[in-house]
Amino acid sequence: MLNHCFLCRNEDLKEMLESSKESLKLEAMKRIVGLIAKGKNASELFPAVVKNVASKNIELKKLVYVYLVRYAEEQQDLALLSISTFQRALKDPNQLIRASALRVLSSIRVPIIVPIMMLSIKEASTDLSPYVRKTAAHAIQKLYSLDPDQKEHLIEVIEKLLKDKSTLVAGSVVMAFEEVCPDRIDLIHKNYRKLCNLLVDVEEWGQVVIIHMLTRYARTQFVSPWREDAVFDENSEKAFYDSEEERRVEQSKPYIMDPDHRLLLRNTKPLLQSRNTAVVMAVSQLYWHLAPTHELSIITKSLVRLLRSHREVQYIVLQNIATMSIQRKGMFEPFMKSFYVRSTDATHIKTLKLEILTNLANEANISTILREFQTYVKSQDKAFAAATIQAIGRCATNISEVTDTCLNGLVLLLSNRDETVVAESVVVIKKLLQTQPSQHSDIIKHMAKLFDNITVSMARASILWLMGEYCEHVPKIAPDVLRKMAKTFTSEEDIVKLQTVNLAAKLYLTNSKQTKLLTQYILNLGKYDQSYDIRDRTRFIRQLIVPNEKSGALSKYARRILMAPKPAPVLQSAFKDRDRFQLGTLSHSLNSQANGYLELSDWPAVAPDQSVRIVEVVEPVKEAGAPVFGKSKPGKSDEKFYSDSEEEEEEEEEGSSSEDSSSSSSEESESESESEENSDDSNKSSSSQSDSEKKKKTLKNKKLQQQKPDSKDRTKFFLMHIVLSFSNQFVASCRCSLLCLYVFLVCQFDTISWDVRVSLQASSPVFVPETSRELLHRMTGKGLSAQYRFTRQPCIYGNSMVSLQLTLSNSSDQALENIHISEKSSTGQNIHRFNAIERLEPQASVTVSMGVDFNDSTQAANFQLCTKEDEFSVSIQPAVGELLLPITMSEADFTKEQIYNKITKTLKLNLNEIPCGLSVWLANDRLGTGNLFKNNNLLKCYKYLNI
């Protein structure tokens, strides 16, 4: 009957779907979605629904998509009808439509369309819109779960998408990576630094995934920072070293953290302030697994903050804190009070808090904690009260000072009215007494008295065991207890029966005169018991203690077997071994390995090659093969995605906030146009101003020759090229490639010697950014604001100096007098100061130039900017690129110098590709690397090559 009705309604819906009215169709679809939501089967409407897949009405279309994804797997043939619509939509100019078409297409779980999906994913992964590329990353996982055989092709797509610079894509592609090929760590190397730098700007869900992946990555690539810390976690620490010898070797060298390791720690730290609890937890576990121990404390506050969140969040966070607090009490001890239990907490929250409090207990705070526990014992929540008693037991064994206090407290609890409390106390007392039985025969006597009133079997069994074990301390009472037990034996629970048999046997051995008959009676009862276990035990005991001809040698030792001193049980936390799982994971939460859990590897003893992370050339994202409909603005939209953390200066340089500061003089526009000419012209652009540069160059070369007489004009220079175009977007990528270049240089210098036979001449820079960076904000400067800009011109004050242009403006309403740079420089850089400005009128601004010798390092130059009244500390941090100068070199010269094959190869490759210009940057920088040009000052030589 009901079924019939349902069918009627479906007929009704079918009609509506087939009508020509859009509104009726929509109404029908809404009802169908309602059915799906309730879990009702609406699959028979498939033919009627699928017709509407090409509808113009976007809401209708979306609802059809919902339906399709739900039922396509069941109706594969019909689902194929819709495929062409999606294929068409994949070419739509609207990125939202392209993306949602791909989403649905990839969600239709029909194996036949796997090739189409593969193709669409490949295409979408080169789409201009990052949103579509993000969708492609999601589709990878879907296709993979549909057809794992596509793995290899999918990995190719992942590799390509990992290079994507959009923050939108990063999280999704790492997710795909984790799902499809988590073991292909090699794909991450080149993207490691980029991911670290983008991290702050990735959406929060992506952050979680990336952080977890990077944690795993870091554990395979860096060496342990915990080396000096011998106290920390000895068990797992030892495992990292194969032998003691190796350990000694390791420790003999001082530990220096890999800069990439540091980069990860530094860039994740601000995320501890995230509002997303999953992100905070992810960073915390990263620090736990990767940070040097002394830096660990910064995660404490954030974790404690999470305890204010929802119940479920508290639960997970408390579990993780419980694991942490076992190894490091100190981390959470100052926050002990945050773990005090409230009567309104859920039971599992209470138990976890209790666990943590117990872990945190030490000699100093135990009295406070015990006082708190006293309140908990009285709780109406009896399960919690019982857990508290166990906790007291643990405190008592761990801290010997309070064992007696705890024991007395527990004995008091024996007169509690609640049975669970009493039973739990008995069990805990039993465990405690095992540590020092002789002093506590009073307690045993007391418990014997209570025995009649206790009905919980576990507690009864515990008392019986105590009697038997320490029967010598209570010689009068024990036989009496046995007598009582003989009476009730048949009605006891198994566990109690077993302990009765035990007690009987022990008494028989120690005091056979009084108990022989009782024992035999009990053994007889046990012989005919219903339970196998008890019958077995009885038989065993009888053979053991009652000597007869068959029993042989064993019975001689019966006393030694039964009355052997037993080690006291160790009361330890349930979280003791949880640290075998990565914190924050599902497996940790369940304390069992979840499906798909990826083990966190141990630190390698020797760090793998660091240079794998160096990115040689950063090319702009090639948009080749992208759909032609590119209505989305390519450069502009991409540019926005550069992380602002990528490099501070970069962001500010690009930032269009201060449109065009007055500082951009005509000189630069000239130089820019000049360089433009150069790119078209052949190599003639040796400017006269570079004479000084030349001199210095030769000088340098001489010096080098002295160092290395055998290689005449060889200098340890290394040629790298960087493609420069004039688009703003491109400068950004150059910037970051410069950094990479720098690191690369540092690593390669040892092995490469390079001829510089070419006469090197500094040329004018190709591009000079016109925006300036802030030196002093007008708020902090009390009206005085200062901006600076690298002019990228040779400095007139000295060869080793970098020239800077400073724009000072007065935004207060009073004139500022005597603006100058204070004589004392805090960091020791040589600074050529500008002449003091006597007076700066309100709203006026003035541009001055100065020179700073950065000593070839990116260390910030700190100095004092002074007015008549005030002093402001300011600092300028140069990017590596600002320390370099361009040089000119003919193509012929250039090709001659192909000593370093690999590089030239790439170069040539690029020569063919790059239409507008190619710069050769010769860089030398001794920063941080002791091995090259130890005593030389900055060598600025870089120039621009014309083709």
Partner 1 sequence: MPNHPVPVPSSVLAALKNKTIHLSAAKMIHSLFLVNASGDIFLEKHWKSVVSRSVCDYFFEALERATEPENVPPVIPTPHHYLINVLRHRIYFVAVIQSEVPPLFVIEFLHRVVDTFQDYFGVCTEAAIKDNVVVVYELLEEMLDNGFPLATESNILKELIKPPTILRTVVNTITGSTNVGEQLPTGQLSVVPWRRTGVKYTNNEAYFDVIEEIDAIIDKSGSTITAEIQGVIDACVKLTGMPDLTLSFMNPRLLDDVSFHPCVRFKRWEAERILSFIPPDGNFRLLSYHVSSQNLVAIPVYVKHNISFREGSSQGRFELTLGPKQTMGKAVESVLVSSQLPRGVLNANLNPSQGTYTFDPVTKLLSWDVGKINPQKLPSLKGSMSLQAGASKPDENPTINIQFKIQQLAISGLKVNRLDMYGEKYKPFKGIKYMTKAGKFQVRT
Please list every residue from 410 through 439 that binds partner 1, using CB under 8 A. Answer: 416-418
Stated length of the chain: 947
- Would you list the DSSP string of 559-587? HHHHTPPPPPPP---TTTTGGGSPTTSHH
Query: Under a CB-based contact definition with an 8 Å cutoff, are residues 898 and 700 in contact?
Result: no
Identify which of 416, 354, 398 has the alpha carbon closest to the alpha carbon of residue 426: 416
Candidates 162, 281, 296, 407: give the one binding partner 1 (CB under 8 A): 281
Candidates 375, 400, 524, 531: give the one binding partner 1 (CB under 8 A): 375
Note whether 248 binds partner 1 by CB under 8 A.
no
Note whether 182 binds partner 1 by CB under 8 A.
yes
Candidates 79, 105, 121, 175: give the one binding partner 1 (CB under 8 A): 175
Binding to partner 1 in span 627-686, by CB under 8 A: 637, 640-641, 644
Note whether 811 binds partner 1 by CB under 8 A.
no
Name the one range near partner 1 by CB under 8 A: 336-344, 451-459, 549-557, 784-792: 336-344
Query: Under a CB-based contact definition with an 8 Å cutoff, are residues 64 and 55 in contact?
Result: yes
Candidates 249, 554, 590, 892: give the one binding partner 1 (CB under 8 A): 590
CB of 337 to partner 1, least distance (A): 4
Structure tokens at 268: 């994740």
What does the alpha-carbon distance between residue 527 and residue 536 come to, in Å, rounded to a whole number?
Answer: 8
Alpha-carbon distances, residue 810 vs 386, 657, 768, 845 (angstroms): 71, 19, 26, 6
What does the alpha-carbon distance between residue 771 and residue 572 come to, in Å, rounded to a whole number?
Answer: 63
Name the one range near partner 1 by CB under 8 A: 271-279, 325-333, 669-677, 930-938: 271-279
CB nearer to partner 1: pick between 104 and 850:
104
CB of 462 to partner 1, least distance (A): 22
Query: Under a CB-based contact definition with an 8 Å cutoff, are residues 153 and 124 in contact?
Result: no
**Which contiguous run of DSSP H or E holds residue 784?**
strand 784-794
Find the largest Cα–Cα distance for the chain: 120
CB of 308 to partner 1, least distance (A): 5
Candidates 19, 84, 251, 347: give the one binding partner 1 (CB under 8 A): 347
Binding to partner 1 in span 71-110, by CB under 8 A: 73, 94-96, 99, 103, 106-107, 109
The contact pattern for partner 1, residues 39-78, with x = CB under 8 A and - = no contact, is: x-----------------xxxx-xx-xx---x--x-----
Name the one range near partner 1 by CB under 8 A: 313-321, 513-521, 809-817, 903-911: 313-321
CB of 721 to partner 1, least distance (A): 24
Binding to partner 1 in span 10-29, by CB under 8 A: 22-23, 26
Give the contacts of 413 (CB within 8 A, at least 6 positions apart).
377, 389, 421, 422, 425
What does the alpha-carbon distance between residue 270 and residue 207 come to, in Å, rounded to a whole number?
Answer: 12
What does the alpha-carbon distance between residue 291 and residue 121 come to, in Å, rounded to a whole number?
Answer: 38
What does the alpha-carbon distance between residue 390 and residue 277 come to, in Å, rounded to a whole number?
Answer: 31
Structure tokens at 674: 């000049």
What does the alpha-carbon distance between residue 268 and residue 283 come to, in Å, rounded to a whole number?
Answer: 6
Candidates 138, 227, 613, 700: give the one binding partner 1 (CB under 8 A): 138
CB of 592 to partner 1, least distance (A): 7
CB nearer to partner 1: pick between 418 and 492:
418
Residues in a beta bridge with 920: 721, 943
CB of 134 to partner 1, least distance (A): 8
251-258 contact pairs (CB < 8 A, 24+)? 251/227, 255/223, 255/225, 255/227, 255/228, 257/222, 257/225, 257/292, 258/221, 258/222, 258/223, 258/607, 258/610
Note whether 773 binds partner 1 by CB under 8 A.
no
CB of 381 to partner 1, least distance (A): 8
Query: Under a CB-based contact definition with an 8 Å cutoff, are residues 733 and 721 in contact?
Result: no
What does the alpha-carbon distance between residue 285 and residue 296 come to, in Å, rounded to a whole number?
Answer: 10
CB nearer to partner 1: pick between 351 and 800:
351
Give the contacts of 499 (CB within 8 A, at least 6 positions apart).
460, 461, 464, 465, 468
Candidates 317, 544, 618, 880: give the one binding partner 1 (CB under 8 A): 317
CB nearer to partner 1: pick between 279 and 471:
279
CB of 262 to partner 1, least distance (A): 18
Query: Under a CB-based contact definition with an 8 Å cutoff, are residues 790 and 802 in contact?
Result: yes
CB nearer to partner 1: pick between 135 and 679:
135
The contact pattern for partner 1, residues 591-620, with x = CB under 8 A and - = no contact, is: -x-xxxxx----------------------
Candidates 6, 335, 629, 726: give the one binding partner 1 (CB under 8 A): 335
What does the alpha-carbon distance between residue 345 and residue 900 come to, in Å, rounded to a whole number?
Answer: 68
CB nearer to partner 1: pick between 203 and 891:
203
CB nearer to partner 1: pick between 16 and 922:
16
Structure tokens at 164: 């994507």
Note whether 587 binds partner 1 by CB under 8 A.
yes
Identify which of 763, 762, 774, 767 has the alpha carbon closest to the alpha carbon of residue 732: 767
Candidates 76, 338, 707, 906: give the one binding partner 1 (CB under 8 A): 338
Note whether 778 binds partner 1 by CB under 8 A.
no
Note whether 159 binds partner 1 by CB under 8 A.
no
Query: Under a CB-based contact definition with an 8 Å cutoff, are residues 410 and 393 in contact?
Result: yes
CB of 634 to partner 1, least distance (A): 12
CB nearer to partner 1: pick between 642 and 894:
642
Identify which of 790, 788, 816 has the alpha carbon closest to the alpha carbon of residue 801: 790
Candidates 589, 686, 753, 906: give the one binding partner 1 (CB under 8 A): 589
What does the alpha-carbon distance between residue 481 and residue 475 come to, in Å, rounded to a whole number?
Answer: 11
Note whether 9 binds partner 1 by CB under 8 A.
no
CB nearer to partner 1: pick between 282 and 366:
282
Candidates 380, 656, 912, 935: give the one binding partner 1 (CB under 8 A): 380
What does the alpha-carbon distance between residue 153 and residue 149 come to, in Å, rounded to a whole number?
Answer: 9
What does the alpha-carbon distance between residue 731 and residue 618 come to, in Å, rounded to a whole number?
Answer: 11
Candidates 296, 316, 541, 932: give the one binding partner 1 (CB under 8 A): 316
Binding to partner 1 in span 562-581, by CB under 8 A: none
Note whether 130 binds partner 1 by CB under 8 A.
yes
Name the one range near partner 1 by CB under 8 A: 120-128, 140-148, 728-736, 855-863: 140-148
Candidates 274, 462, 671, 772: give the one binding partner 1 (CB under 8 A): 274
Identify which of 167, 89, 91 has the alpha carbon closest to the alpha carbon of residue 131: 167
Candidates 168, 509, 518, 534: give the one binding partner 1 (CB under 8 A): 168
CB nearer to partner 1: pick between 472 and 651:
651
SS3 of residue 619 by DSSP: coil
Candidates 208, 283, 498, 784: give the one binding partner 1 (CB under 8 A): 208
Using CB under 8 A, count the residues that bind partner 1: 111
> Which residue matches tokens 């004018």?
764
**Residue 1 burial (10 A CB sphere; 0-12, 13-18, 19+):** exposed
Note whether 197 binds partner 1 by CB under 8 A.
no
Name the one range near partner 1 by CB under 8 A: 275-283, 546-554, 690-698, 800-808: 275-283
230-236 contact pairs (CB < 8 A, 24+)? 232/293, 232/327, 232/328, 233/327, 233/579, 236/579, 236/602
CB of 551 to partner 1, least distance (A): 49
Single-letter code of the amino acid located at 468: G
Name the one range near partner 1 by CB under 8 A: 125-133, 560-568, 799-807, 901-909: 125-133
Note whether 270 binds partner 1 by CB under 8 A.
yes
